[in-house]
């Protein structure tokens, strides 16, 4: 009987700890947090590991660190269709190897994403987050729990989240350019 109570206490304690960890892991990041690592397949068939771009380089794969601007989007999102061309224009205006702009499609199947990318003429790298696992870590949600799109996240070379912004309105392009230039220390 004594052993049964000890086992039961242990199980309840571990369950509570795991539940608390899951609640913490389910909340979206904020500026100043270390970016949660992730892997996603790319639309072009490549594999994307965040650890290959930002944070401390791995001994077995010491790739150069570079900053990332990540835009979470969906094909049905009208503000996303306005923000992405601005990001593409920015990438053309400021070429370089010390930063990258990537798009992460959230919640859609590959065929839908491919059709949208082709129709809209997107050429920035597109990652597929079909089940919204990465978006849940990075994107704020509204009162109903729906992920807010577009969400723009900037991660420095050190792996620290420097900037998070949701939504897009006409005239935001100058603000986006200034923010990205500031964080990646670019000059005109």
Q: What is the pLDDT along the chain (188 residues), one digit of tens a residue?
A: 555 544 444 444 444 444 433 344 456 799 999 999 999 999 999 999 999 899 877 665 667 788 999 999 999 999 999 999 999 999 999 888 889 999 999 999 999 999 999 999 999 999 999 999 999 999 999 998 889 999 999 999 999 999 999 999 887 788 878 888 887 775 55
Instruction: Sketch the domain layout of the chain as residue ranges.
Output: 2-183
Are 132 and 140 in contact, with CB atoms under 8 Å apart? no
What is the token pair recorded at 186? 């670019």
What pLDDT was estimated at residue 163? 92
pTM of structure? 0.81
- Strand, helix or coil at 43? coil
What pLDDT was estimated at residue 79? 95
What pLDDT was estimated at residue 76? 97
- 142 Cβ contact list (under 8 Å, min separation 6): 148
What is the token pair recorded at 119? 């129709």
CATH class, domain 2-183, is alpha beta
What pLDDT was estimated at residue 46? 96
What pLDDT was estimated at residue 186? 58
What distance lies between CA 25 and its chain's CA centroid?
15
What pLDDT was estimated at residue 169? 83
Rounded to 5 degrees, φ, ψ at 37 are -70, 155
pLDDT tens-place string over residues 135-179: 999 999 999 888 999 999 999 999 999 999 999 988 778 887 888
- 169 Cβ contact list (under 8 Å, min separation 6): 79
Helix (H) or strand (E) holding 47: strand 47-49
């Amino acid at each position: 009987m004594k052993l049964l109570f000890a086992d039961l206490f242990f199980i309840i304690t571990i369950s509570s700890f795991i539940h608390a960890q899951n609640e913490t892991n389910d909340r979206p990041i904020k500026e100043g947090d270390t970016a949660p690592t992730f892997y996603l397949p790319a639309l072009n068939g490549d594999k994307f590991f965040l650890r290959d771009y930002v944070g401390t380089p791995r001994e077995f794969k010491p790739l150069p660190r570079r900053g990332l601007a990540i835009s979470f989007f969906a094909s049905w999102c009208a503000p996303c269709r306005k923000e992405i061309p601005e990001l593409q224009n920015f990438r053309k205006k400021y070429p370089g190897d010390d930063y990258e702009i990537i798009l992460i499609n959230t919640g859609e199947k590959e065929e839908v994403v491919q059709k949208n990318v082709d129709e809209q003429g997107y050429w920035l790298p597109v990652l597929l987050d079909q089940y919204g696992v990465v978006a849940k870590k990075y994107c704020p949600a509204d009162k109903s729990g729906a992920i807010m799109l577009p969400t723009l996240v900037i991660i420095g070379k050190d792996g620290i989240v420097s900037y998070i912004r949701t939504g897009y309105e006409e005239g935001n392009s100058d603000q986006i350019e200034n923010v990205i230039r500031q964080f990646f220390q670019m000059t005109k």
